[in-house]
Amino acid sequence: MPDFVAALAAAAVFCLSLIVLNALTRLALLWQVAPHDLAENGFLQLGGAVILARAAYRRAPLPARRRAEG
């Protein structure tokens, strides 16, 4: 069950961070402070969302991980 909760939290972090990064990209393009090649749902946004989701998953307390490390 903790694996499911950790995966669910990581998925939620991925979705929310992708939405926030896309909104920031749209604002940057609107304010003309970003290059025109930058697009929503691009490599930068997806990569950033994956990195944040991975960090959220790694910070989740998993009993199996504690047994393996200890």
Q: Count how many domains the chain has.
A: 1
pLDDT of the residue at 1 = 55
pLDDT of the residue at 64 = 53
Domain range spanning residue 20? 2-69
Q: For 17-67, how does the pLDDT look when each residue is reduced to its tens digit (9 = 90+)?
A: 999 999 999 999 999 998 888 888 888 899 999 999 999 888 877 665 555
Residue 63 corresponds to which tokens in the numbers above? 């009993």
Whether pTM exceeds 0.75: yes
Contacts 24+ apart (CB under 8 A), 5-10: 5/60, 6/57, 6/60, 6/62, 7/57, 9/56, 9/57, 9/60, 10/53, 10/54, 10/56, 10/57, 10/60
For residue 45, the 8-state DSSP code is: H
Q: Give residue 69's pLDDT band: very low, low, confident or very high (50, 70, 90).
A: low
